[in-house]
Amino acid sequence: MPLKLGQSAPEFRLADQIGKIHTLSDYRGQYLLIYFYPKDDTPGCTTEACGFRDLLPKFSESGLTVVGISTDTSKSHEKFAAKYGLSFTLLADVEKKTVEDYGVWGKKKFMGREYMGILRTSFLCNPEGKICKIYEQVKPADHPSEVLRDLLVLHGSAS
């Protein structure tokens, strides 16, 4: 069943790029963007990650923590983060439990071929861990600035 606005985000327990375990409850008390992306070091995923990296100071000022999740390994995340100077958390869902819990594991098509993979989707969670915005069919180049705009509106400081 798809996740809905106002619903509690599903709990997770995943290792980051250096092997440290993170859970959803670790982020209680702050806004959290959980963005799901298909694969480390691919063009769209790199564009999206670097966009988040570049806006990280503004997200931090607004009290938002950014966390990326894919089914790549922690080692792959470590290389990806080092190569592009990504200073936010990347979580490894190698067992695909979290992507399934969030409903972002599904059928994709590329060049006439069908396969299962991560549907590029993000969830903005409030400090209580409730979903306050769901971004589907995300455009990698535009998504980071879209999230920042929405965050500014949430805080009543849109200009």
Q: What is the pLDDT of residue 159?
A: 43
Class of the CATH-defined domain 13-152: alpha beta
**Per-residue pLDDT tens over the stretch 103-148:** 999 998 878 889 899 999 999 999 999 999 999 989 999 999 999 9
Catalytic residue among 45, 50, 125, 132: 45
Higher pLDDT, 37 or 1: 37
Catalytic status, residue 125: no
Give the CA dihedral 143, 138, 119, 70, nearest 10 degrees: -10
**Which structure tokens are listed for 99?**
């992507």
pTM, rounded to two decimals:
0.93
Structural domain spans, the chain = 13-152
Whether residue 158 is predicted with pLDDT greater than 70 in this model: the reply is no
| Residue 130 neighbours by CB under 8 Å, 6+ apart | 6, 7, 8, 9
